[in-house]
Amino acid sequence: MMNQKYEKILSPYTLSNGVTLANRVVVAPMTTYSGNIDGSVSSGELDYYSRRAQGPAMFITAAATISSLGTSFPRQMKAYGEHNIPGLTQLANKIKEKGAKAILQLHHGGSESLIGYISERRMVSPSGIVASLYKDSSDDYVPRTLEHEEILSTIQDFGRATEIAIRVGFDGVEIHGANGYLIQQFFSRYSNLRTDMWGGTLEKRMSFPLAVIEEVKRVRDQYANNNFIIGYRFSPEEPEKNGLNMEETIALVDQLSNQGLSYLHLSVKNVWSMPRSGSNQTKTRSEIFRDVIADRTSFLSLGSIHTPDDALNVLEQGIPLFGLGRELLMEPDWVRKLIAGREEEIRTTLSRDDQQMLSIPDEMWKNILSRDGLPAQR
Q: Which residues form the catalytic set?
A: 181
Burial readout 63-76 (b: 16 or more C-beta within 10 A, e: otherwise) = bbbbbbbbbbbebb
CA distance 54 to 56: 6
Contacts of 27 (CB under 8 A, 6+ apart): 52, 53, 56, 58, 59, 60, 100, 323, 324, 325, 328
Whole-angstrom CA distances from 181 to 138, 202, 234, 244 are: 20, 18, 10, 13
Contact between 297 and 262 (Cβ < 8 Å): yes
Neighbouring C-alpha atoms within 13 Å toward the C-beta of 179: 22
Number of CB atoms found within 10 A of residue 36's CB: 16
Q: How far apart are CA 357 and CA 25, in angstroms?
A: 22
- Alpha-carbon distance values, 375 to 28, 29, 77, 363 (Å): 12, 11, 17, 12
Q: How far apart are CA 138 and CA 141, in angstroms?
A: 6
Which residues lie closer than 8 Å to 201 by C-beta, 6 or more apart?
A: none
